[in-house]
Amino acid sequence: MKGVKFFFASFCLLPFAFCLLLNGCSSLPSSVPVTQPESVSVTELFKQMVTKQSECHCCLDARAVVSFKSIWDSGTINGYLQAMSPSFLKFVGVNPFGMPLVILATNGDTFRYVAIPEKKGYEGDVSGVTFTKYAPEGFLPEYGFYWIIGRLYPGKMTITDVRRDEEGEGYWFELDYGRGATSLVLFDAAQGVLMRHIIVNEQQEKILDISYGAYQPGSCPTPGEITVRSLIHGSTLTIKMSDWLPEPVFTPQDFHYAIPAGFERMGVQ
């Protein structure tokens, strides 16, 4: 269960989990060139998806089952995941009787993790030493909501290349946000959704790799499964969501959780 708790302690801001899973390199997906007419056609569909995403609802509220598996540890915990754009995330992990085990919350600037059985609370800034040291290049905590929901985060974006996936799973779009690293996203033109999002550094190494699947139908499809795979450790994080509440509404205060009186408070630098 230790590996799962490690993930939960990291999930609220994500880079702690990524420092375990995503450092290292791996080959990039195989792709083939497309004709100019095909590129123009699929690019128009891609732009329509981006526009539609920008108009989608701001929030997510669903049941979530989170699984962690590595050569060191493995485990699964049920709970509830809430998120609000651009950076608010909260996860409540529960035991089989529905009682809280862990509560995690972040607003993209700070995070808080409370372990109920241990009566301990951890808190810190995502701009702290730990984040700076271990977070992979390209991950932006201020847009945490978008990583979870399978959407592209807002900002000026340039499409620099379009290629067809060699296995026929869609089209790879190379995107430049002007931040140094490059995004490779796998676009399913038939569904109008993203199936994968890879961040590549200047050495052409994958530094972040997330897959999305089991999309729910609707005007704004939501992925029912998110998978983060290890590049060097054979580790996998899987988030399976279900029972979404229709168009939930949150405020920033909903993502604040006070460490209970009597709990040991621990700062994370």
pLDDT band at 208 (very low <50, low <70, confident <90, very high): confident
Phi/psi at 187 (5° precision): -105, 125
Rounded Cα distance, 119 and 194, in Å: 40
- Confidence class of residue 23 from pLDDT cuts 50, 70 and 90? very low
Could you read off the pLDDT of 34-70 as tens digits, one per residue? 999 999 999 999 999 999 999 999 999 999 999 988 7
pLDDT-based confidence at residue 126 (cuts at 50, 70, 90) = confident
Q: Distance between CA atoms of 24 and 230, rounded to whole angstroms?
A: 9
DSSP H helical ranges for the chain: 2-11, 15-21, 36-54, 129-134, 144-149
Q: Are strands 158-165 and 120-125 parallel, antiparallel or unpaired?
A: unpaired
pLDDT digits (tens, 9 = 90+) for 67-86: 988 777 788 999 999 999 99
Instruction: Domains for the chain: give ranges and CATH numbers.
Output: 2-268 (2.50.20.10)
Residue 56: other Cβ atoms inside 10 A:
15
Segment 201-221 shows an average pLDDT of: 87
Letter string b/e over residues 141-163, b meaning 16 or more CB atoms within 10 A of that residue's CB:
bebbbbbbbbbbbeeeeeeeebb
Task: State how far the Cα of 174 lies from the Cα of 231, in Å rounded to an integer.
Answer: 20
Using CB atoms within 10 Å of the CB of residue 183, give its burial: 0 to 12 exposed, 13 to 18 middle, 19+ buried.
buried
- At position 258, the amino acid (one-letter code) is A
